[in-house]
Chains A and B, each alone.
Chain A
Amino acid sequence: MVTTMPVLRIALMMIIVLFVSIFGPDFYWKANKHENNKTNVNFSPIKKGFLFTHSDVRGSSYSDAQGKFYTRDEFEALMPFLNFRQLMLAGKLPQSIDEIPITPKEINLNNFTQRIAPALIQAKPLQLFPLMESASDRLRLELPPDFFRIGRRMEFITALTNEVNEEKSVVFTKALVAEGFTFPAKSIYGNPSTKKPFDEGYFVVDGKDRVFHIKMVKGAPYCKDTGISPDLHIVSIIPMEIELREFYAVFITQNNEVYFISTDHYQLIRLPVENYNHEENTLTIKGDLFYRLITINAENGYHATVTDRKYAVIDRTSAAWPGRETTISGAAASYLFPFTVSIEKETTPYIQFYFKHSGVASVPLLLASLLFSIYYMRKKNVPVRPAMMYCTAVVLTGLYGIIALLAIKDYDDDPAQKK
């Protein structure tokens, strides 16, 4: 058992290193809180240029791309689509813009915002969904009495009895088979909420990566192969059930391309997105009467593209600001901590050990840690072979390894062993 003790100590070192690398940097950043830069990008139909809203603990300020600052009233007047209710209240809503008459009803119809965070893309909810009646005669949408799954067939489970509704299941399965659906479904995307203006059902990726549109119309199945190419490798489809009814959904591909699925025979509209990484960035699509504004928000900056209603690029803007790594605390952290581990991450809903390396900045302290560990092992009179194991662990983990080494304290297994 004596011979296995160094291995067990290495195991304990690993646990201590994990403990310190999770809680140490976490505590460090609690004590050195970095103020986040929050900039909201807008495009003014009056000024024909970008306007920015900067928010921090002191409040909000408004500026344009040339650095000119505006008052709140000026900003609201330059953004009539965004602030039309406030402008109406103040009697300042223009009757027309660029000689095009505008009405509050039209503005409201055309305004939309769709935010797609990485966690939304990566989330995998329980694969059980309510299929609402899409052509209901009721004023509001209602939840159906059953939920569906698509495994070897499309199956409806009555919520009250927890039993399969065989009749409905057969009808829908037949409709899917008739349309060429390959079971089981790989992914099902929908917005199972009754708080939306209408229901367009679900977009379902089948066993052969083809996308089907499935909904229930007057109690009967509506299944349609959208014809979207399986080669696009869709990672997520986000339905957009908005009054405008210009598109069914927006989808993201493995290659970070972004498409609208048009309501016009499922035609695809590719959005001019650049510098987007769906695993790390948040994508925001804002629409109004004149423009589409697509913003990619990263931790330390953004890229924004504005297009007209035909998706031709009008203008682009981007900005980057120093992240917390560039502050004094950040520089000190990268020297001190060779890596950090966190088990939660903003960009994913899953718990995992997420490693982040500090790069070469930590090398001096790693080498210093190695020298200290050699000195400490000599002082503790530890035999060469286990000492080498401990020192190797320390040179890989730096300060964390030193803490582990000091916490373990006892290394003398066999006084008779040659040192």
Chain B
Amino acid sequence: MLISFVMKEWLKVKWVFIGLAIVHGIILLTIYYDLANIFKAYKATEVIMQLLTFEIVYYINVKYAALLSGVMIGIFQFFPEVNQSRLKLSFHLPVKEHVLIFQMAATGIALLVALNVFDTIVISMVTLKYLPYEFFESLIVTVMPWYLGGICAYCWVVIVFTEPNWMKRVVLLCIGAGIVSLFFVGDGYGKYALSLRNFATLMVLSGSIIFLSAYNFKRGIW
């Protein structure tokens, strides 16, 4: 049943995922060409000096890609479920609602992780080609809060969609937007270096609320 469920989720978001992969690909290509071109236009030392002095994060657009992906996969995975009352039917299957919602959310998060891994590999390759190791070293710490933020955004989309009460939906949407915004504050390299664990905990806490929403949905608490 697990494989069938994963398959069902994949079929549902397949085209969105492919679309997002293309968007990510275009963003990564832009990052690559921008960096390659700047090395053609200016002295290499001046380019690196500017990046160091002003802490210019040349892959900043990955931040928006991560957020967009989280929101889009969440919407396309759960909007039809709720809108066409498919989720209600699924909850009548002989599977506990928390297991079911976990499988659904895990599929969405796995797709997000795949996109994040793709981004990281490409940016790492671009970075190591043009820039000293230190830029690569700071990469993970810099992008990790964005990835966590993307997954957190996905979780809050799921929470909002599975919440049966409209009033609470609006409240949760506001809370979700506020919480997700915390992952995208600050410019520069490694600004979250001292707080990555705390933000990872916040993401996990947000993820756990999905079970509460699913529980409310199944019980139809209005």
Contact = CB atoms under 8 A, between A and B. Distances in A.
Contact of B52 (A4, A18, A125): A125
Nearest to B216: A410
A28 interface: no
A375 interface: no
Contact of B211 (A1, A149, A353): A1
A146 to B, nearest CB: 8
Interface stretch (B20-28, B40-48, B106-114): B40-48
A180 interface: no
B130 to A, nearest CB: 6
B171 interface: yes
B168 A350 contact: no
A130 interface: yes
A9 B185 CA distance: 27
Nearest to A14: B205
Contacts of A349: 188, 191
Contacts of A344: 185-186
A126 B189 contact: yes
Contacts of B46: 143
B193 interface: yes
B83 interface: no
Contacts of B98: 1
Nearest to A144: B45
A11 B204 CA distance: 10
Interface residues of A, number: 42
Given A349-B188, A350-B195, A157 B175 contact: no
A226 to B, nearest CB: 25
A192 interface: yes
B215 A343 contact: no
Contacts of B211: 1, 4, 8
Given A1-B215, A12-B212, A19 B175 contact: yes
Nearest to B47: A159
Given A1-B215, A18-B202, A130 B49 contact: yes
B10 to A, nearest CB: 26
Interface in A287-327: none
Contacts of B121: none
Contact of A350 (B48, B49, B194, B206): B194
A407 interface: yes
Nearest to B156: A15
A143 B131 contact: no
Interface string B203-218: 0011011011001100
Interface in A1-22: 1, 4-5, 8-9, 11-12, 14-16, 18-19, 22
Interface of B: 43-49, 52-53, 55, 96-98, 128-135, 137-138, 145, 165, 168, 171, 175, 178-179, 182, 185-186, 188-195, 198, 202, 205-206, 208-209, 211-212, 215-216, 221
Interface of A: 1, 4-5, 8-9, 11-12, 14-16, 18-19, 22-23, 124-128, 130, 143-147, 149, 157, 159-160, 162, 192-193, 343-344, 349-353, 407, 409-410
